[in-house]
Homo-oligomer: A and B are copies of this chain.
Amino acid sequence: KNFNIALIPGDGIGSEVVSEGVKILKEIEEMDAAISFSFAEFPWGCEYYLEHGKMMADDGIEQLQPFDAIYLGAVGYPGVPDHISLRELLLQIRKGFDQYVNLRPITLLNPSLTPLKSKTEKDVDFLVIRENSEGEYSGAGDWLYKGKPEEVVLQTGVFSRKGTERIIRYAYEEARKSNRTLTSVSKANALNYSMVFWDEVFEEVGKEYPDVETYSYLVDAASLYFVAQPERFEVVVTSNLFGDILTDIGAAITGGLGLATGANVNPERNYPSMFEPVHGSAPDIAGKGIANPIAAIWSVSQMMDFFGEEKWGEAILSTIKTILKETEQLTPDLGGQGSTKSVGDRFVELLKDN
């Protein structure tokens, strides 16, 4: 099987970490005669914006359409406002390709990485399924009476039946398939339209899954329990904004953004799905060759799972666990003395031995 991968290294450390991910993919190609990859690189991002006044080509979405997957590095750079750089590239792709499922594993890979006192790997091992196409991120709103005392700004979350039902259904399927509990996170006591609706859909769809054990938390309580009792969670389903916040708490309890990955999936495979480390472009360390590539490598694991090559997905994940034991070899953010490239090279060695 040949898989066609679009590379968007993006800004800052994006290209540095994507290089290491590609190194792993090429190694897989070498080790597995049944798999091959083709790559095409797209130079989109903030530099492109500064030159062309747009974050990607006008027909960017069409150009990406034929690919099996998109591998994204990082987006954002000083001088380009975030609401342009992120909305017009990252969010554009998520929406443009109806990647309505965002899969973010919250997995403690090594007990030394958590800032929590008495939590171990078995306490912190769950999956957040974030709605990724609408909700609070719909971009709908208005700005009235600009500059006047009566100025008022409106931001509207849009929750469609279709959008809400499909993500919740996806989560129930995932919970059933893996025999895990399912927790919905919402906030009906304050958001009296959208979240009342969310809760209704969660209950309604749940009738088709009587075998799945469910819980329902308010987002404030869930945020607290992510820290205080992460062992409560197995599969979590939540809205776009709440998922954004909760998965960063998840990153905090598992060792930081250097180790957080996300898959932006269109389950029907009508469009390419996108795999990305969750961290940003980190302008402060860009170009120094010390960015931690492990989140980006984990994204490759998610990509392999998505391709149906779970064997490789698991091999990568278990190699991540192995390399995390070799503190000296890691990048400075993890207390080591390695470089982005040396971590990638060591990873390839370990993957060979796996």
Interface residues of A (CB under 8 A from B): 76, 81-83, 85-87, 91, 114-118, 136-137, 139-143, 145, 148-162, 164, 187-197, 218-221, 223-228, 240-241, 244-245, 247-249, 251-253, 256-257
**Bound Cα distance from A228 to B256, whole angstroms:** 8
- Of the residues B76, B155, B245, contact of A191 by C-beta under 8 Å: B155
User: Do B248 and A223 touch across chains, with their CB atoms under 8 A apart?
Assistant: yes
Which residues of chain B are near A196, meaning CB under 8 Å? 83
Shortest C-beta distance, A110 to chain B (Å), equals 14
B-side contacts of A91, CB under 8 Å = 190
18 inter-chain pairs at a CB distance below 8 angstroms, sorted by A residue, are: A83-B190, A87-B192, A115-B117, A136-B190, A143-B193, A148-B161, A151-B160, A153-B164, A154-B156, A157-B157, A190-B241, A190-B244, A219-B244, A220-B245, A223-B245, A223-B248, A225-B252, A228-B256
> Provided the pairs A190-B244, A196-B83 are in contact, do residues A257 and B224 lie with their beta carbons within 8 angstroms?
yes
Partner of A227, one of B158, B191, B253: B253
**CA A257 to CA B240, docked complex, whole Å:** 26
Q: Which residues of B contact A143 (CB under 8 A)?
A: 193, 197
A-B pairs with lowest CB-CB distance, top 4: A141-B193, A151-B161, A82-B189, A155-B194
Would B256 and A244 count as touching, CB distance under 8 A?
no
- By the criterion CB–CB under 8 Å, are A224 and B248 in contact? yes
Q: How many copies does the complex hold?
A: 2
Task: Name the CB-closest residue of B to A143.
Answer: B193
Tell me the bound Cα distance from A247 to B221 in angstroms. Answer: 10
**Cα–Cα distance between A341 and B197 once the two chains are bound (Å):** 41
Complex contact B155–A87 (CB within 8 A): no
Contact residues in B for A136 (Cβ distance below 8 Å)? 190-191
CA–CA, A172 to B85, complex, Å? Answer: 29
Chain B residue, CB-CB nearest to A227: B252
Q: How many angstroms from the CA of A156 to the CA of B241 in the assembled complex?
A: 14
Contact A190–B86 (Cβ < 8 Å): yes
The answer on a CB contact under 8 Å between A152 and B156 is no
Which residue in chain B gives the minimum CB-CB distance to A149? B161
B-chain residues with CB within 8 Å of residue A226 when the two chains form the complex: 252
Say whether, besides A116-B116, A117-B117, A156 and B156 are in contact (CB < 8 Å).
Answer: yes
Q: Is the CB of B141 within 8 A of A162?
A: no
B154 pairs with A158, CB closer than 8 A: yes
Q: In the complex, what distance in Å separates the CA atom of A190 from the CA atom of B94?
A: 12
Q: How far is the CB of A266 from chain B (nearest CB, A)?
A: 20
What residues on B are CB-neighbors of A247 within 8 Å? 220
